[in-house]
Structure 1
Amino acid sequence: MAHALPDDVLSAAQSGDPAAFSSIYTTLAPGVTGYLRARGMEDTEASVQEVFLTVFSRIGTVRGGWQGLRTFTFSVAHARYVDEVRRRARHPGFADYDPGADPRTTGSAEEAVLDSLAASDVGKQLKALNPDQREVLLLRIVADLSLEQVAEIMGKSTGSIKQLQRRGLLKLKSLIERKEALV
């Protein structure tokens, strides 16, 4: 328990004496810090500062001498704790999501489509394209993106995306015609 200060220290603080404020803080801050830390406050030091800013801004209203000041200070500390509990209830903390630890995870629809596409004739034909042509066709046709969007994603000019698309489609056409000729 903090040692008691004479009641005249409160009177001096109410008159604006800086030494009285310092004495009050030095005497009460350790107890307030311990109280808030024991209650599980996230940022104890900041909360202690807030408590004393409130206490010192309203010190002129404190009655009852030293005991009245202690009671008022700890009631402000308790109010800060209650505010913190309410804030946590409104804004719960978030934990990082670990998909490896979540048994509910399944492959995305995109993964399923791409897996089935890779096993199909179309997938085999897409593999015959160079990687840039394949990427452009997938982004343009499957993802339904504009030339400009694909250019931005791939870091290329719109003109080069048009060329890659044209060449990729011509190669696919050639592959399909060759396959049909064999049938």
Structure 2
Amino acid sequence: MGYDAELGAAVERAQHGDEDAFATAYRLVQPGLIGYVRGLVGDDAEDVAADAWLEIARDLGRFRGDGAGFRGWTATIARHRALDHLRRLKRRPRTSLLEQDVLELPGGQDTAAAALEALSTEHALRLIGSLPREQAEAVLLRVVVGLDGQAAAQVLGKRPGAVRTAAHRGLKGLAERLARAGEGAGTSGAARTPRDET
């Protein structure tokens, strides 16, 4: 990712108590992290990510590494919180779906554009979620979080080659699904298969 140098510098300053630097690190990492967590736990992603950020803030002084390493470290923590959440749900399923969302004041952004972006993100995550779990997690870590093969492998506890293969198969499966959907919608042309980067 192009911002890893900025992220590494922000993390280093945050470790010395700079709250603005922590906010910068959060701003750089959160979009990819929330996409990854949403791919694992669905609608509970905000709560799980919030739990992960509490742990990240608490343990920030123990982190050692650069910007890319910080993204991997935060993804590992978020994955652990997501798996804990899924285990809790398995033991104690929800009895009610009546959760009231907190009302948000309108921001300065274009509401229509934000809604379209949310829909396309939701659609993309739903497509990724339809992949086998191993492939879905590899795609989320490689594409959404932006980790390289080595860092994604560390998060998943697998060999880098296995993660690259799973990501490649997942991306190929997504391309095939998109091509079929395009054919069903009457579009022509072959979909390009995304290539997995090393």
Q: TM-score range by the shorter chain?
A: 0.3 to 0.5
TM-score by length of 1: 0.47
Which has more radius of gyration? 1
TM-score by length of 2: 0.44
Query: Structure with the greater relative contact order (CA < 8 A, sep ≥ 6): 1 or 2?
Result: 2
